[in-house]
Amino acid sequence: MPRSAPTLANDSFAAISPHAERSLQASAQAVAAVLDDRGGRPLLLESVSPVLVPALRRTDPRCNALVVNWDTNPRLELTGDWEEYLGRLTGSQRADVRRLARRGAEMQLRSVYQADEVAASTRLSLEQRRRVWSESGLADKMSPFQRGPAWDEFLVDAAGALAGAGLALVDELVWEGHVVASTLWLQRGDWLLGYHRAAERSQMKFGQIFDVLLLQDAIGRGVRTIEMGRGSEAWKYHLGATDVAVCDVVVGHARLATLATMVARVTPFLARRLVGRSASRSSTAGPPPSPRTATPTTPAGPPPSAIAQDG
């Protein structure tokens, strides 16, 4: 078995959003197909719905799945216009959003759709986030997968390819001629998933202003669901998001015990997440209780298999 497996490789886009139950079977089939192409070698899937695990087993009995981490993916459901959105917030949330929207009036929100421009913007965003995190003493919080040039090249290429298929775009916040915040979105119809985000740290609160302007723009474009990305940062809930349970899963044709051994040997970062878990324990067990974690039943989003094929 190559020492490069399991990896967060290009193949991870094969299951970029198995949140939608209507596309669950297509998601499982896409992952099973990728595993076949890899000869059954292990693959790490990030932030997938827990319901993908049993679906994958039903699709191909050779497939085993080892859950190595539980997390939350805050989701924002948008219905109606801007004023209706504001009406669903608390009084303090509404006042903050309106204040940030006023501050953002002097800034420019720019959307990038062309494949080469999306790739270039993604590269600059990766450099910006790495610099900001380093200056803030947060560099060690980044996944080891995301610290080296290989990850940058993968994401830049994937973003460009997905944009070329009409499945990705980048939104940028421009102030005084400089891009101070950006988000790489995966898109399908009225659904958006924020995959990568960067913002300059400043008393101007660029990140918060950016979020509010993005919401205004998304509502105006008819977006109905925004997946805000894993992690329980307070600002997501302040905008009205609610949690959906997600997990990181290592999948492959090997036995669960073998997958666990390989994870421990190849990727110590993931192995630390396995402390206290038995390799033979059922990998469909639910996440630890969280006051913000809703039952992992999920509304529809884009078919992951379509993203994998088109991208």
State the pLDDT at residue 276: 39
What digits encode the pLDDT tens for the residues 118-152?
999 999 999 998 888 888 777 666 666 666 788 88
Q: Which stretch, 52-66, 163-177, 260-274, 281-295, has highest mean pLDDT?
A: 163-177
State the pLDDT at residue 257: 85
- What does the block give as tokens for 115? 């494949």
Q: What are the backbone dihedrals phi and psi of residue 186, each rounded to the nearest 5 degrees, phi first?
A: -95, 135
Confirm if 249 and 53 have CB atoms less than 8 A apart. yes
The rounded radius of gyration (Å) of the Cα atoms in the chain is 19
Mean of pLDDT values over 191-201: 91
Calpha distance 24→39 (Å, rounded): 23
Q: Is the pLDDT of residue 95 over 60?
A: yes
Confidence tier at 87 by pLDDT (50, 70, 90):
very high
Calpha distance 209→74 (Å, rounded): 19
SS3 of residue 184 by DSSP: strand
Domain boundaries, the chain: 10-72+244-288+298-310, 75-238
Calpha distance 78→224 (Å, rounded): 5
Q: Is the pLDDT of residue 93 over 50?
A: yes
How many separate helices (H) and strands (E) can be counted in the chain? 11, 9
Task: Specify the range with the lowest mean pLDDT, choosing from 56-70, 169-183, 273-287.
Answer: 273-287
Confidence tier at 198 by pLDDT (50, 70, 90):
very high
Calpha distance 249→161 (Å, rounded): 25
| Average pLDDT over the chain, rounded to an integer | 78
State the pLDDT at residue 248: 86
Confirm if 48 and 246 have CB atoms less than 8 A apart. yes
Calpha distance 202→304 (Å, rounded): 36
DSSP-derived secondary structure for 70-124: EEE--EEE--S-HHHHHHTS-HHHHHHHHHHHHHGGGSEEEEE-SHHHHHHHHHH
pTM: 0.71
Return the DSSP state at 273.
G
Looking at residue 95, its amino acid is: A
Confirm if 181 and 172 have CB atoms less than 8 A apart. yes
Q: Give, for 162, the enclosing helix (H) or strand (E).
A: helix 149-164
Calpha distance 83→198 (Å, rounded): 28
CATH code given to domain 75-238: 3.40.630.30
State the pLDDT at residue 268: 56
Count of positions (residues) in the chain: 311
Looking at residue 31, its amino acid is: V
- What does the block give as tokens for 83? 């004023």
What digits encode the pLDDT tens for the residues 33-49?
989 998 998 888 888 88
- Beta-bridged to residue 178, according to DSSP, are 175
Calpha distance 115→162 (Å, rounded): 8
